[in-house]
Structures are given as C-alpha cells and as structure tokens.
Amino acid sequence: MAADVLLDELSRIERRVDAVIAQGRDAFLEGSESYDRATVAVLRLAALFEEEKRFSEFLSVVTTEERRGITTTRNIAAHRGYGAMNAEVSGAR
C-alpha cells in the first residue's frame, strides 16, 4: 500500500515537473503557472520525507545531502513570499 501511494505521489510530482519544463525557462516567473507548479512539486516531494515511518523503506536510497537539498529548496519555496507579504502589511498601516 505505501509503495502504491508513494509511486502515485511521485507520478504527480513528475507530471508537474514535466509541465514546467515544457513551458520553458521564459515562463518560469514568480506568480506564473509554471512557477506555482514547480513550487507545489517541491513542497510535495519534501512532504514525503516528513512521513518517515510510512515511506522510510523506499526513501532510504536518498542521501543525507540530497535530503538537505530538498529540505532547503522546500524552505525557500515555502517562505519566498514572506518578504512581499511583510511589505504589503507594512504599507497597509
């Protein structure tokens, strides 16, 4: 069961990445559909590692360095908009 769930999730991530690649580098701008798809792909990939018990058997092939890279990329993607939100809140006062 866990293997099926993992494969399904990896397939969804792969489809998002393929769509981003197909749209090309010029379409990859913050706020674009391409950027949003890439962000979701990164967030979902990182989330797989948060389910340590469920997927550890399958994710053990990923090195510590690769996991750190995924986590770092996830943190950048997840927190990227904070600066803009802070500026908007500050400007609204």
Q: What is the pLDDT of residues 47-88, one digit of tens each?
A: 998 887 888 888 889 999 999 999 999 998 888 755 554 555
Give percent above pLDDT 70 in the chain: 86
Long-range pairs for 78-83: beta carbons < 8 A, 24 or more residues apart: 78/43, 80/30, 80/39
Contact predicate 73/42, CB 8 Å: yes
Q: Give 19's contacts (C-beta < 8 A, 6+ positions apart).
A: 34, 37
H-only helix segments in 1-93: 2-23, 33-50, 52-59, 64-79, 82-92
Per-residue pLDDT band at 20 (split at 50, 70, 90): very high
Cα-trace Rg, the chain: 16
